[in-house]
Amino acid sequence: MDKKKKNMAVIEIDGKKIEVKEGENLLQFLLKNKFPIPHLCYHSDYEPAEACRLCLVEVDGRIKTSCGVKIKDGMKIITNSEKIKKLKIINLRLIAQSKLRKQNREKFNFDKIIEFDMSKCIDCSLCIRSCPVSAIAFDGYGVDQKVAPTKNPCIDCGQCLAHCPASAIDTDQNEFQWIVENIKTKKIKIAQVAPSIRSSLGEMFGYSHEKMTGEKVVAALKALGFNYVFDTSFGADVTTFEEAKELIKRLKSKERLPMFTSCCSAWINYLKFYQPELLPLLTSVLPPEIIAGNLIKHYFSKKIGVLPKDIYVVSIMPCTAKKSEVRRKELIVDGIYPVDDVLTTVELGNLLKQQKIDFVNLKEINFDNPLGEATGAGVIFGVTGGVMTAALRTAYYLLSGKKPSDLYFQKEITSLEGVKIFNLKLLGKNLRIAIIDGLKNFYQIKDKLSEFDYIEVMACPGGCIAGGGQPKPVNDLIRQKRRQVLLRIDEQKTIKTSHDNPFLKEVYNQFLTDEKTVHKYCHLKH
Amino acid sequence: MTKEEIIEKIKSSGLCGRGGAGYPTGKKWEEIYKKNPKEIYICVNGSEGEPGTKKDGFILEHYLKELIEGIKTTYYLFPQTKKIYLYLRKDYFEKYKEKVELLKDNLPLEVFREPGGYLCGENTVLVNSIEGKRFEPRRKPPYLSEVGLFEKPTIVNNVETFYRIYQIVNGIYENKRFYTIGGTAKNPGVFDLPVEMTIKKVLEATKNPINEDQFVQLGGGASGIFYTFDEISSQSANFGTGVILVYNKTTSLTEIFKEKLEFLIKENCGKCTPCREGLYFLYKLVKNNKLLDPSLEKQITDVIENLVVSSFCGLGSGAGTAFKSLWTKRKKIWQ
């Protein structure tokens, strides 16, 4: 063999010599190379727990959990000895048998949004490791150990749900049944679809991650009986336009800086429960889904000659926290909630399966108008960094009167990084920016907020494409693929700046004609 | 004496940790001494959670001054020590806290009340419990000597180890250890005897001779190994926490399993499958009186072996070793 490359290790797996990067996680390497290693408590998003003891291998003659081993040069690994096989089966059997002991355990519930069935729990601790606010933790020891809520309020981000390997955590099923019933009985039903659904719903029906299925989602919702299906991205264009204006205003007056983005509902929940003193830093602009809801109920209703109260609006969201957002009393306009109910991607997928709707063979249908056409900027809201990119494109235009170059700032957001800090020259001014991917990373900049002008926080790593309502599994590779779908749409769209959306102009000409109206429907009342 | 001389003395004494794992103390300390980290912590482990063991309590009662002197020597070796925790189980804490406060002089020492039970005696659990975290073992590496309490290099040693350090430095160490004799022994207690003795010799020297109708568990009530009467004359007693528990054959296999399991299913941390579920599996069998059901023999053997080889930490594999020794010798003991 040639001289070893730097940072590379030569190891032996089941008698075969393999060259591999030194320090790589052994389990991850084995899985990548199609070794059938069972595992329940490991997830590449988190530090290994080494708890389930299923991913056992022999490393230099010693039995170890491969998830806890970092690859070193010269390691001899055996994955398939009789002894290893036997131990794995024993542990798997023990986990299965533990269900008997747990069968009478109760369910508990977070805000009637997230439901935890303790009888299904296998003590893997992934939910605990995924929770950015430690709202759940182990309680008790040994045979009495349970996963239980802590004193910390849940922010409904749903990362626990997205990482539970035992389906012990799900969205609240009573709530789900209630929505299903409403869809059956309500007369005028309108759905709006978040941007990131189009990169993920198809996964539940065998489509690859890269496959774009936006028009199929519309067709599926129509098959469920929705009269109109709109694009939440249109709301995102309005949000962008308003947020860019507010940013410029606040930068000029130097008031309430840094400005926080507000489209992530789990982020807002976090601020409400944990750092209420920072709430005034949020942009006053409402999230896209809420603006879209307002426009459906108070603008579109007039077009079809219906009273706002007679319209039932369901949002299809990649997010569990959106379920809490739509209940916020301060969002009521003229006695009416902007959105009535929220279905997550997974809930919609399950409903389609229940109703035996043949998703794969549905004929694609375009979104309805006028709230169905979005720009590239509106679509990239689904990935971390998207909101900010969109707002900066429009801010650039508003300040200079010039069109920003095609994919203005898009390259800044295409990497998956926990904390992105950079300075942007915006017409001679230096804009200090932070993009936080995953709420846990906010803690890194929590104490130096004054160093920034504009901060975007997305509670779920990757953004909405990997939200708590999205199909499982999720990991960095899948995040990257779903992300590419949205970024590709942005690249392909002729119009990439929200303020250039022709339907947006129409709405501003016909409905949002003065400041007062804009504030009523697009801003939070303070 | 220079620091180097002290470390050399500890090394040449052959002293091994007295908490159960038996790692050479000199080697462990020398590594940290050579690396010379900026800040370290020292934890004196007086959790003494291993059922049957009473030697740490014995030292606190009779040799508290000497123990503190041993700790002072360690502090002299490591003046960069940010804090020393004398970690005591609850009853020891109540009894000795004030006495320690009077003796500690200017040592940066805090007497720390153990917040949990058996688990907390494991070194990484101990460290977690001081930090206020959940009582569960940490992944290794990193070892505590690299990343320990509050992420600083940390020395954790048993109370007896520090007492022996005092003896070594003062030239009065006679290569002895404390044995706790218990169970159905006639003359139970704590005895200071040479390290290298057979179980039989220890029992005889302490006026606890046993007969063919008896057998022992060596090293701890939860993780000690069982030996038959025939084995004790050749088996060294230098193991674990140095406890020897005597059993009579009139006690059944099921009764012993039951006693151990009732303790362990509550006292394990709950983290790993072999321990949490394996112990519960055995407990259920014992409760339903099925331990001796021949159709289950293979399954029981497997679950015990799994506990030995695939547990996360030493407490699990220790418990496994204990069960395994009794399980494999059951026919010999009870015919």
Q: What value, to the nearest 5°, has the Cα angle with vertex A117 and ends B271 and A321?
A: 100
Determine phi and psi for A17, rounding to 5 degrees. Answer: -85, 135
A399 touches chain B (CB under 8 A): no
Which of B266, B302, B311 has its CB closest to that of A142? Answer: B266
Sort out which chain A residues have CB atoms less than 8 A from B279's CB and list them.
Answer: 142-143
For residue range B105-130, what is the model confidence (pLDDT) as tens digits? 999 999 999 999 999 999 999 999 99
B274 touches chain A (CB under 8 A): yes
A118 touches chain B (CB under 8 A): no
Among A378, A382, A381, A384, residue whose Cα is nearest residue A438:
A384
A465 touches chain B (CB under 8 A): no
- Laid out side by side, the sheet with A429-437 consists of A259-260, A454-458, A429-437, A419-426
DSSP state of A465: G
A382 touches chain B (CB under 8 A): no
Determine phi and psi for B42, rounding to 5 degrees. Answer: -125, 130
Radius of gyration of chain B (CA): 20
DSSP state of A464: G
Residue A409 is predicted with a pLDDT of: 66
- What phi-psi label fits residue A373: left (phi over 0), alpha (psi between -120 and 50 degrees) or beta? beta
DSSP assignment of A326-371, as one string? TT-GGG-BTTB-S--EEEEHHHHHHHHHHTT--GGGPPP-PPPSST
DSSP state of B41: E
Q: What value, to the nearest 5°, has the Cα angle with vertex A133 and ends A131 and A135?
A: 75
Residue A6 is predicted with a pLDDT of: 76
Q: At how many degrees (to 10) do helices B314-334 and B297-310 cross?
A: 150
Q: Which residues contact A465 (CB under 8 A, 6 or more apart)?
A: A196, A199, A200, A318, A382, A383, A479, A482, A483, A485, A486
Q: Report the chain B residue with the minimal C-alpha distance to residue A66.
A: B310
A68 touches chain B (CB under 8 A): yes
| DSSP H helices in B120-216 | 123-130, 159-169, 199-205
Could you give the 3-state DSSP secondary structure of residue B87? strand
H/E element holding A20? Answer: strand A16-21
A425 DSSP β-pair partners: A430
Residue A406 is predicted with a pLDDT of: 54
A115 DSSP β-pair partners: A109, A170
Residue tagged 């910390």 (tokens)? A152
Q: Which residues contact A154 (CB under 8 A, 6 or more apart)?
A: A110, A111, A114, A133, A135, A136
Could you give the 3-state DSSP secondary structure of residue A286? coil
Q: Which two tokens stand for residue A470?
A: 């999205």
B120 touches chain A (CB under 8 A): no
Among B283, A48, A131, residue whose Cα is nearest residue A147:
A131
Residue A209 is predicted with a pLDDT of: 81
| DSSP H helices in A13-118 | 26-32, 82-102
> Per the CB < 8 Å rule, is B139 touching A50?
yes
At A252, the amino acid letter reads K
Q: Give the dihedral of Cα atoms A285, A286, A291, A297; nearest 10 deg.
A: -120
- A141 CA: distance to closest CA in chain B (Å): 5
> Per the CB < 8 Å rule, is B265 touching A50?
no
Which of A48, A53, A63 has its CB closest to that of B272? Answer: A53
Say if CB B104 and CB B68 are below 8 A apart: yes
A147 touches chain B (CB under 8 A): no
B268 touches chain A (CB under 8 A): yes
Residue A401 is predicted with a pLDDT of: 87
Say if CB B229 and CB B212 are below 8 A apart: yes
Sort out which chain A residues have CB atoms less than 8 A from B271's CB and list them.
Answer: 49, 51, 123, 125
Question: Average pLDDT in the B159-182 region?
Answer: 97
Going from the C-alpha of A272 to that of each of A265, A275, A279, the distances in angstroms are 10, 6, 7
Q: Which two tokens stand for residue B296?
A: 């289950």
- What phi-psi label fits residue A48: left (phi over 0), alpha (psi between -120 and 50 degrees) or beta? beta
For residue range B258-285, what is the model confidence (pLDDT) as tens digits? 999 999 999 999 999 999 999 999 999 9
* CB-count burial class (<10 Å; 0-12, 13-18, 19+) for A401: exposed
Among A377, A371, A320, A372, residue whose Cα is nearest residue A343:
A320
Hey, which residues 288-307 in chain B have their CB within 8 Å of chain A? 302-303, 306
Sort out which chain B residues have CB atoms less than 8 A from A94's CB and list them.
Answer: 273-274, 277-278, 281, 303, 306
Q: Which residues of chain A have pLDDT under 50?
A: 1
**Dist CA A397 CA A413 (whole Å):** 20
**Dist CA A68 CA A198 (whole Å):** 36
Say if CB A216 and CB A254 are below 8 A apart: no
Residue tagged 């679809």 (tokens)? A193
Residue A210 is predicted with a pLDDT of: 77
Sort out which chain A residues have CB atoms less than 8 A from B272's CB and list them.
Answer: 50-53
| Prediction pTM value | 0.94
B226 DSSP β-pair partners: B217
Q: What value, to the nearest 5°, has the Cα angle with vertex B140 and ends B136 and B145?
A: 100
Say if CB B317 and CB B308 are below 8 A apart: yes
Sort out which chain A residues have CB atoms less than 8 A from B274's CB and list them.
Answer: 53, 90-91, 94
Is the previous residue joined to B142 through a cis bond, with omega within 30 degrees of 0? yes
Total CB pairs under 8 A between chain A and B: 87
DSSP assignment of A232-284, as one string? HHHHHHHHHHHHHHHHHHHHHHT-S-SEEP---HHHHHHHHHH-GGGGGGB-S
Q: Report the chain B residue with the minimal C-alpha distance to residue A124.
A: B271
Say if CB A125 and CB A145 are below 8 A apart: no
Determine phi and psi for B230, rounding to 5 degrees. Answer: -65, -25
Residue A1 is predicted with a pLDDT of: 44
B180 DSSP β-pair partners: B190, B243
